[in-house]
């Protein structure tokens, strides 16, 4: 029996008067033109006619193709992994307007929570590199540096740091628009695509990276653009999106290497759907060529390094230094975190669970659960897209975890959370399919609209306080306080990103205190400061600079005096290196250090914790020097709360208390530092000294043995353990073995050599 049903005609297809021609055209379920057909309709993805009930899914307007594998009544469902998808209509102007609206919505929230100035960590260094068109830390980020440099010079509104922060916000807003367009390619409704795009860019880590100066917002934009190209290919099987994706992949590698994990997932997915692409040598050659063209921005690094800009990290002006810089060899590993720990199943499980925790915190557990449920829905409605989500999470998440093999201390957790932003994108796609399935059951447009707003609203409510950097002044105030503690023409050796890079911004970008020289802003002494050092000089560069500069010298952390006949004195929140006997009065300097966020609370991120720790530490140190130990212990207790999980912070607290003759108070801080990282031998060495002063030789021996388990060739530990065994345990035979091991590493030990020749 014949019946009449509504058939949807894609854009560009002739009107109903030419129905016969249209029936031979690959059907694309899109509500652009509608006409009546007097008989059953045969979809290109199904061998069986489709009843009018099967066409209920076309009630939502769409200018993009709808995956025919999502029809619910098809008795002989084709395999979406191998079949050819229909050709969608061209993108309509209305779709671009919707994408723009999604981007503007994302940008509005970012601007409201945008940081007003420089923030901690890499922000100050990156702003300086962009402002001077210089070279930032490895691998150089040439694409980000060039684009942000042009932006901060052309958009002359607000402070330079604020402009760079706004650049991040615009990149993430563009990423939201790209995700919207990508999801429209597979037929998801506009409201659903908008919701999923906002869910991704408003996830916690993505939001945080969108309101400060960092490279990850641009990485999100390029990743989303490549993702959109891949889904455009999926909808059309045209090769042009693949070529454009190849070019974007090269450009993305010029920003951040982690984009390679996303590209790998897409390559595997595309080839699994259409293996015949491997036989198209011309397409492969064109793709590789465009990939190489996309890598051309790396030429920026040697070109700008040769001009000797104010920020010239690694000076990649030669081929050898260029390769070392791009491959991150200064950090000792190509991966993001260097660790000597071997891989194991237990270690991988812990790292993977950290990834799950990070994503759950980013998306909230409710949205994560919805995404997992969405993957279940996709097994029936969109198996090809499910395969993409699985590959995406596996490559951007699990494969990264396997290769990085990172530690799980607080520092590593903070540094690595940004690498899981792409994982949230894959889960947002699964969430979108769940939302589309629910919306397909509903007929009330108002209810559907409210439903799509729930998840973005949950993210705003959950993360607004942790992502609102609009009153973040810690980094700028910290830099200004350090500058206020220094004499004219000072040389400073800062320590840690939270101290170094805000100083770099204030001095190199804003021009405050140009008389101050930041000696090691690259993690090593600047080559231009020691260019005149003789090749036969026995001194390390820092020591030679201090000896010859004849200028005030400051350090952010205390260490052994680098030159003889000198010592450190406290100067506010810094250490001032002075010759022995030179008077100095730093009383009251620390009280003059002002932090606006003490009165106006703001985001408590990793950098602000470091800055607040430094302030509390130096306030406690000043109390110790004023012979007020009880007041000092209160400040140290506050500092310990701020540096929870940071081994160096606890060790510094213990060292300061031990130096001021408070060994019992120092003991728990040393133990906590050693427990955080068993490979960190400095607190164990300090515990050995502490136990030795208390004549607790067994505990002292235990510390030395634990040091040698981590560093068997440590000549000091071998020497001290040998002396300990010979002098207090009457184990000379064992002591001789440790002495010999110590001499193998450092033969210049006449006292140990003499003890070996002693007759027992």
- In the 8-state DSSP scheme, what is residue 88? P
pLDDT recorded at residue 56: 37
Give the separation between CA 55 and CA 41, rounded to whole angstroms.
10
CB-based contact 123:161 (threshold 8 Å)? yes
Task: Evaluate if residue 184 carries a pLDDT over 70.
Answer: yes
Which one is predicted more confidently, 615 or 86? 615
Task: Evaluate if residue 8 carries a pLDDT over 90.
Answer: no
pLDDT recorded at residue 91: 56
- Tens of pLDDT along 499-514? 999 999 999 999 999 9
pLDDT recorded at residue 68: 35
- Tens of pLDDT along 741-760? 999 999 999 899 888 887 56
Cα–Cα distance list, 470 to 211, 250, 473, 521, 626 (Å): 9, 34, 9, 27, 38
Backbone angles phi, psi at 35, to 5 degrees: -145, 170
Query: 718: closest CA among 754, 700, 740, 742?
Result: 742
- Long-range pairs of 600-606 with CB within 8 A, sequence gap ≥ 24: 600/471, 600/473, 602/468, 602/469, 602/471, 602/472, 602/473, 602/474, 603/465, 603/466, 603/467, 603/468, 603/469, 603/472, 605/119, 605/120, 605/208, 606/120, 606/121, 606/410, 606/411, 606/414
Cα–Cα distance list, 285 to 229, 282, 559 (Å): 18, 5, 56
Q: Give the pair of three-digit tokens for residue 202.
A: 């408003």
- Tens of pLDDT along 174-183? 999 999 999 9
Give the separation between CA 533 and CA 544, rounded to whole angstroms.
7
Query: 742: closest CA among 716, 710, 711?
Result: 716
Which one is predicted more confidently, 107 or 85? 107
Query: 195: closest CA among 67, 106, 97?
Result: 106
Give the separation between CA 713 and CA 755, rounded to whole angstroms.
20
pLDDT recorded at residue 90: 44
How many Cβ atoms from other residues are within 10 Å of residue 301's Cβ? 28
Q: Which residues, 6 or more positions from 726, have their beta carbon under 8 angstroms from its beta carbon? A: 732, 735, 755
Where residue 679 falls among pLDDT bands split at 50, 70, 90? confident
pLDDT recorded at residue 338: 56
The stretch 317-329 carries a mean pLDDT of: 93
Instruction: State the residue for tokens 């427990």.
Output: 675
- Tens of pLDDT along 708-739? 999 999 999 999 999 999 999 989 889 999 99
Give the separation between CA 498 and CA 682, rounded to whole angstroms.
22
Query: If DSSP codes are grouped into helix, strand and coil, which group holds residue 519?
Result: coil
Share of the chain above pLDDT 70, in %: 87
pLDDT recorded at residue 440: 86
What rounded mean pLDDT belongs to the chain?
87
Task: Evaluate if residue 59 carries a pLDDT over 70.
Answer: no
Task: Evaluate if residue 595 carries a pLDDT over 90.
Answer: yes
pLDDT recorded at residue 760: 61
Which one is predicted more confidently, 211 or 405? 211
Q: Which residues, 6 or more positions from 333, have their beta carbon under 8 angstroms from its beta carbon? A: none
pLDDT recorded at residue 422: 97
Task: Evaluate if residue 597 carries a pLDDT over 60.
Answer: yes
pLDDT recorded at residue 759: 53
Cα-Cα-Cα-Cα dihedral sign, residues 40, 43, 49, 53: negative
How many Cβ atoms from other residues are within 10 Å of residue 290's Cβ? 20
pLDDT recorded at residue 721: 94
- Tens of pLDDT along 291-316? 999 999 999 999 999 999 999 999 99
Q: At what angle do helices 682-693 and 697-710 cross, to 10 degrees?
A: 160
Share of the chain above pLDDT 90, in %: 74
pLDDT recorded at residue 559: 86
Where residue 39 falls among pLDDT bands split at 50, 70, 90? very low
> Residue 106 belongs to what H/E stretch?
helix 93-112
- Tens of pLDDT along 438-473? 998 887 888 888 999 999 999 999 999 999 999 999
pLDDT recorded at residue 21: 38
How many Cβ atoms from other residues are within 10 Å of residue 707's Cβ? 23
- Tens of pLDDT along 156-168? 999 999 999 999 9
Give the separation between CA 494 and CA 488, rounded to whole angstroms.
17
Residue 245: how many CA atoms within 13 Å on its side-chain side?
29
Give the separation between CA 436 and CA 382, rounded to whole angstroms.
11
Where residue 42 falls among pLDDT bands split at 50, 70, 90? very low
Task: Evaluate if residue 74 carries a pLDDT over 50.
Answer: no
pLDDT recorded at residue 441: 87
pLDDT recorded at residue 87: 41
CB-based contact 231:267 (threshold 8 Å)? no
């Amino acid at each position: 029996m014949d019946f009449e049903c509504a058939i949807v005609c894609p854009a560009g297809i002739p009107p109903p008067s030419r129905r016969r021609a249209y029936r031979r055209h690959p059907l694309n379920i899109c509500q652009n033109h509608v006409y009546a057909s007097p008989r059953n309709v045969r979809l290109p993805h199904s061998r069986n006619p489709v009843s009018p009930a099967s066409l209920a899914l076309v009630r939502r307007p769409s200018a993009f193709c709808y995956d025919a594998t999502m029809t619910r009544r098809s008795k002989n469902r084709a395999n979406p992994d191998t079949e050819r998808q229909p050709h969608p209509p061209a993108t309509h102007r209305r779709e671009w307007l919707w994408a723009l609206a999604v981007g503007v919505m994302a940008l509005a929230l970012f601007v409201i929570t945008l940081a007003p100035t420089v923030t901690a960590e890499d922000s100050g260094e990156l702003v300086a590199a962009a402002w001077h068109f210089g070279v930032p830390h490895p691998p150089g980020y040439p694409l980000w540096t060039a684009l942000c440099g042009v932006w901060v010079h052309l958009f002359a509104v607000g402070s330079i740091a604020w402009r760079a922060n706004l650049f991040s916000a615009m990149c993430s807003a563009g990423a939201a628009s790209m995700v919207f367009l990508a999801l429209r390619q597979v037929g998801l409704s506009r409201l659903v695509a908008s919701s999923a795009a906002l869910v991704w860019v408003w996830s916690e880590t993505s939001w945080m990276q969108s309101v400060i100066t960092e490279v990850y917002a641009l990485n999100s934009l390029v990743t989303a653009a490549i993702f959109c190209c891949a889904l455009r290919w999926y909808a059309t099987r045209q090769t042009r999106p693949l070529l454009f994706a190849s070019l974007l992949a090269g450009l993305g590698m010029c920003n951040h290497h982690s984009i390679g994990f996303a590209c790998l997932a897409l390559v595997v997915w595309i080839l699994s759907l259409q293996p015949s692409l491997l036989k198209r040598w011309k397409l492969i050659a064109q793709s590789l060529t465009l990939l190489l063209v996309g890598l051309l921005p790396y030429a920026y690094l040697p070109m700008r390094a040769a001009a000797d800009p104010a920020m010239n990290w690694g000076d990649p002006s030669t081929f050898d230094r260029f390769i070392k810089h791009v491959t991150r060899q200064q950090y000792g590993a190509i991966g993001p975190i260097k660790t000597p720990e071997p891989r194991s199943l237990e270690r991988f499980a812990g790292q993977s669970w950290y990834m799950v925790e990070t994503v759950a915190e980013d998306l909230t557990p409710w949205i994560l659960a919805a995404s997992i449920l969405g993957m279940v829905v996709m097994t029936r409605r969109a198996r090809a897209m499910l395969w993409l989500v699985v590959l995406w999470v596996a490559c951007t998440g699990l494969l990264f975890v396997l290769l990085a093999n990172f530690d799980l201390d607080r520092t590593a957790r903070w540094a690595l959370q940004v690498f899981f932003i792409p994982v949230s994108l894959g889960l947002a796609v699964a969430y979108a399919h769940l939302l589309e399935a629910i919306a397909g059951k509903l007929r009330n447009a108002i209810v559907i609209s409210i439903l799509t707003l729930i998840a973005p609203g949950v993210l705003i409510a959950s993360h607004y306080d942790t992502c609102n950097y609009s009153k973040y002044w810690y980094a700028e105030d910290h830099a200004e306080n350090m500058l206020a503690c220094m004499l004219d023409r000072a040389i400073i050796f800062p320590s840690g990103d939270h101290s170094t890079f805000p100083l770099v911004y204030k001095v190199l970008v804003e021009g405050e205190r140009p008389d101050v020289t930041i000696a090691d802003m690259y993690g090593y002494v600047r080559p231009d400061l020691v260019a005149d050092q003789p090749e036969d000089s026995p001194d390390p560069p820092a020591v030679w600079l201090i000896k010859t500069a004849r200028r005030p010298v400051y350090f952010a952390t205390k260490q052994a005096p680098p030159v003889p006949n000198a010592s450190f004195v406290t100067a506010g929140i810094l250490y001032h290196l002075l010759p022995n006997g030179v008077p100095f009065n730093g009383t009251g300097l620390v009280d003059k250090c002002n932090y606006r966020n003490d009165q106006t609370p703001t985001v408590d991120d990793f950098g602000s914790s470091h800055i607040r720790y430094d302030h509390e530490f130096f306030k406690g140190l000043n109390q110790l020097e004023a012979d007020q130990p009880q007041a000092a212990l209160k400040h140290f207790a506050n500092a310990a709360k701020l540096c929870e999980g940071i081994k160096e912070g606890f060790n510094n607290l213990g060292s300061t208390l031990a130096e001021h003759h408070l060994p019992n108070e120092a003991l728990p801080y040393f133990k906590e530092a050693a427990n955080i990282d068993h490979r960190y031998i400095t607190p164990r060495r300090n515990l050995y000294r502490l136990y030795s002063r208390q004549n607790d030789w067994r505990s002292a021996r235990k510390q030395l043995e634990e040091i040698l388990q981590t560093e068997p060739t440590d000549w000091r530990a071998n020497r001290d353990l040998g002396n300990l065994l010979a002098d207090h345990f009457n184990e000379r035979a064992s002591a001789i073995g440790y002495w010999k091991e110590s001499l193998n590493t450092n033969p210049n030990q006449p006292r140990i050599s003499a003890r070996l020749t002693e007759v027992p």
